[in-house]
């Protein structure tokens, strides 16, 4: 039980991920699905970023000290930051594509509700 | 790490996530998502991920909200009630979510505890970057040096992904010719009048030059402070989006025409790849910037790396800003490029 409380951050990331996944699977409206995708992406990103965090460390920009050796424990792990920084910009690009497709679907079918679109495709 | 601060923000994040998913109004869901992104940026700043937080504040809380509003504006403000229940699908979705969440929580017990300095992710290759970035590249911001140099390949193809996404949005939405219903109508049949506010226009007019100057600063100063090509590019694009919101699409297109946007987006990626190819021409590996000291006058290989990283960041900024403006113009005008929000 103590280990569970000590790792409450993973509980919350998982909860955010589940909210996003549920919205993508079960919501009827396409914009809601896109919002779910956004939440899912940020849940993954926060998981990575929190892996890079270190107790008592500062931001990964080195102090100007060219002579002294740099001590790794003083700086947060920069690698997850790099990977996630590009992931965020890619996520806005995918959001743009998803919303464009939703807009196009609305032009074609006049609705954004999944079941109505399915009905129209099946000719009901 | 401040325990209570983290906990409160995480709780607010969960609340925002639930509210965004279950609110009936799509516009309010978009705004709640913007608040969610901003809280996320706050949390990341607190975790020490300043570059990531900067990107999220510019992208998640800023530009993506505008895209969302543009789509909601052209479609519907509220979700429609279901005509018949689909409890089976909802339950299946819930079941899949619960299984995945349960498995993740089961795995979470094996993860290192939060902010443990000796966790595996911080031991393998990350210490090398922190210890050697000054010696290898003379760039104190480790995130920038890893982004543009140590892992330059990743970043180049991420930029290509963004270019592809912009082209896809353009291909999906762009419509040539005139709109069949040039005067949009409200729900009760009256034509929509263009709402132009003199206050908003004046403020935008004053702010835009400063926003653009700040964007250039963020790109140019990314070596020494949080920022870089992605953030600067998004801010530069956001300044044009602000013009589009305060005035109209025509005003943006007069300054940032469609062919220019496509040209700039491709130029940015080409600049990145071109620097890589220049390294190959001089006899080193692709994106091995050190060799560029032969052509850049008066530079050591270390400073050549620093300068080449600036060139790469500029390429990224050009591409990202052009793509952001392009996606905004296409979503805001439904691809007709005549009138916007």
Q: Please report, rounded to a whole number, the percentage of residues in chain B having pLDDT higher than 90.
A: 52
Strand, coil or helix: what is A75?
A: strand
In a domain, B92, yes or no: no
Distance from CA of A124 to the nearest CA of B (A): 14
Domain that holds residue B48: 1-77
Strand, coil or helix: what is B182?
A: coil
Q: Of B77, B102, B127, at which residue does a domain stop?
A: B77
pLDDT at B73 over 80: yes
- Digit-coded pLDDT (tens) for B224-251: 999 889 999 999 999 999 999 898 888 8
In a domain, A60, yes or no: no
Closest residue in B to A79 (Cα–Cα): B126
Question: CA B324 → CA A48, A53, A95, B47, distances in Å?
Answer: 25, 30, 11, 28
- Of chain A, the end-to-end C-alpha distance in Å amounts to 54
Lowest mean pLDDT among B44-48, B176-180, B189-193: B189-193
Query: If pLDDT is split at 50, 70 and 90, which confidence band does B183 have?
Result: low
pLDDT on residue B240: 94
Distance from CA of A14 to the nearest CA of B (A): 6
Contact B48 A53 (CB under 8 A): yes
- Digit-coded pLDDT (tens) for A7-30: 788 888 999 999 999 999 988 899
Q: What does pLDDT average to over chain B? A: 88
- Digit-coded pLDDT (tens) for B127-153: 899 888 888 888 889 999 999 999 999
B310 with B162, same domain: the answer is yes
List chain A residues with CB under 8 Å of B73. none
B157 with B268, same domain: the answer is yes
Contact A19 B86 (CB under 8 A): no
Contact B169 A100 (CB under 8 A): yes
Beta bridge partners of B198: none
Distance from CA of A123 to the nearest CA of B (A): 17
Q: Which of B331, B167, B187 is nearest to A103 (CA)?
A: B331
Q: Of B29, B61, B77, at which residue does a domain stop?
A: B77
In a domain, B239, yes or no: yes
Closest residue in B to A99 (Cα–Cα): B71
pLDDT on residue A3: 63
Query: If pLDDT is split at 50, 70 and 90, which confidence band does B194 have?
Result: low
B166 with B58, same domain: the answer is no
Q: Which of B164, B130, B167 is nearest to B145 (CA)?
A: B130
Q: Which tokens hold the place of B292?
A: 């560029």
- Digit-coded pLDDT (tens) for A77-122: 899 999 999 899 889 989 999 999 999 999 888 888 888 888 888 8
Q: Determine phi and psi for A27, rounding to 5 degrees.
A: -75, 150
Count CB neighbours of B219 within 10 A.
24
Give the mean model confidence (pLDDT) for residues A33-57: 90
Instruction: Return the residue matching tokens 């009901």.
Output: A124
Query: If pLDDT is split at 50, 70 and 90, which confidence band does A68 have?
Result: low
Distance from CA of B21 to the nearest CA of A (A): 6
What is the domain-level CATH number for residue A104? 1.10.287.3510
List chain B residues with CB under 8 Å of A20. 17
Instruction: Provide the chain A residues 30-49 that lie in CB contact (below 8 A) with chain B.
Output: 31-32, 34-36, 38-39, 42, 45-46, 49
Contact B134 A104 (CB under 8 A): no
B147 with B70, same domain: the answer is no
Q: Which tokens hold the place of B101?
A: 């969440």
- Digit-coded pLDDT (tens) for B249-268: 888 999 999 999 999 999 99
- Residues B15, B21, B23, B24, Cα dihedral to 10°: 180
**Residue A3 near chain B (CB below 8 Å):** yes
In a domain, B121, yes or no: no
Task: Report the residue from A18, A53, A61 with minimal CB separation from B114.
Answer: A53
Judge if pTM exceeds 0.95: no
B194 with B337, same domain: the answer is yes
Closest residue in A to B41 (Cα–Cα): A46
Question: CA B93 → CA A95, A102, B66, B100, B107, distances in Å?
Answer: 22, 21, 29, 11, 21
User: Are the beta carbons of B98 and A18 closer than 8 angstroms?
Assistant: yes
List chain B residues with CB under 8 Å of A37. none
Domain that holds residue A80: 2-55+73-123
List chain B residues with CB under 8 Å of A47. none
pLDDT on residue B132: 87
Q: Which tokens hold the place of A46?
A: 């926060």
pLDDT at B49 over 60: yes
Q: Which tokens hold the place of B312?
A: 């790469």
List chain A residues with CB under 8 Å of B122. 52, 54, 72, 77
B152 with B19, same domain: the answer is no
**Residue B120 buriedness (CB in 10 A; 0-12 / 13-18 / 19+):** exposed
pLDDT at B119 over 70: yes
pLDDT at B189 over 70: no
B144 with B63, same domain: the answer is no
B289 Cβ neighbours under 8 A, 6+ residues apart: B149, B275, B279, B304, B305, B307, B308, B309
pLDDT at B219 over 90: yes
pLDDT on residue B316: 94
Distance from CA of B327 to the nearest CA of A (A): 6
What size, in residues, is chain A? 124
DSSP notation for A33-72: HHHHHHHHHHHHHHHHHHHH--TT-B-SB--S-SSSPPPG
How many domains does chain A contain in total?
A: 1
């Amino acid at each position: 039980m103590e280990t569970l409380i000590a790792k409450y951050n993973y509980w919350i990331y998982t909860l955010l991920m589940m909210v996003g996944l549920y919205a993508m699977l079960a919501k009827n409206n396409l914009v809601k699905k896109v919002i779910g995708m956004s939440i899912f992406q940020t849940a993954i990103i926060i998981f990575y970023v929190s892996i890079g965090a270190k107790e008592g460390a500062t931001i990964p920009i080195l102090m100007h000290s060219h002579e002294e050796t740099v001590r790794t424990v003083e700086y947060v792990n920069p690698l997850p930051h790099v990977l996630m920084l590009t992931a965020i910009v890619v996520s806005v690009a995918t959001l743009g594509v998803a919303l464009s497709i939703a807009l196009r679907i609305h032009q074609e079918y006049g609705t954004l509700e999944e079941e109505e679109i399915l009905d129209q495709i099946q000719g009901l | 790490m401040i325990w209570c601060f983290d906990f409160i923000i995480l709780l607010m994040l969960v609340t925002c996530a639930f509210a965004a998913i279950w609110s009936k109004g799509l516009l309010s869901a978009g705004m709640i998502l913007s608040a969610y992104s901003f809280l996320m940026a706050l949390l990341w700043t607190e975790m020490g991920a300043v570059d990531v937080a900067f990107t999220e504040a510019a992208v998640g809380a800023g530009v993506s909200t505008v895209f969302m509003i543009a789509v909601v504006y052209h479609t519907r403000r509220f979700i429609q009630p279901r005509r018949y229940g689909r409890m089976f699908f909802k339950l299946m979705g819930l079941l899949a979510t619960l299984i995945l969440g349960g498995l993740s929580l089961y795995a979470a017990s094996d993860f290192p505890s939060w902010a443990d300095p000796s966790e595996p992710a911080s031991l393998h290759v990350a210490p090398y970057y922190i210890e050697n970035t000054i010696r290898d590249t003379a760039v104190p911001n480790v995130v920038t040096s890893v982004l543009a140099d140590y892992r330059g390949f990743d970043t180049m193809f991420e930029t290509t992904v963004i270019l592809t996404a912009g082209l896809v949005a353009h291909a999906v939405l762009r419509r040539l010719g005139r709109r069949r219903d040039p005067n949009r109508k409200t729900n009760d049949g009256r034509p929509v009048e263009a709402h132009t506010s003199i206050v908003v226009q004046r403020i935008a007019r004053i702010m835009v030059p400063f926003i653009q100057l700040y964007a250039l600063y963020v790109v140019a100063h990314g070596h020494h402070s949080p920022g870089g090509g992605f953030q600067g590019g998004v801010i530069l694009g956001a300044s044009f989006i602000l013009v589009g919101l305060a005035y109209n699409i025509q005003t943006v297109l007069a300054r940032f025409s469609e062919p220019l946007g496509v040209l700039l987006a491709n130029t940015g990626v080409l600049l990145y790849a071109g620097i890589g190819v220049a390294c190959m021409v001089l006899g080193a590996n692709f994106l091995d910037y050190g060799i560029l000291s032969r052509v850049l006058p008066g530079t050591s290989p270390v400073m050549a790396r620093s300068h080449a990283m600036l060139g790469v960041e500029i390429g990224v900024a050009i591409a990202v800003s052009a793509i952001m403006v392009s996606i905004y113009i296409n979503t805001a005008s439904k691809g007709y490029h005549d009138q916007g929000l």
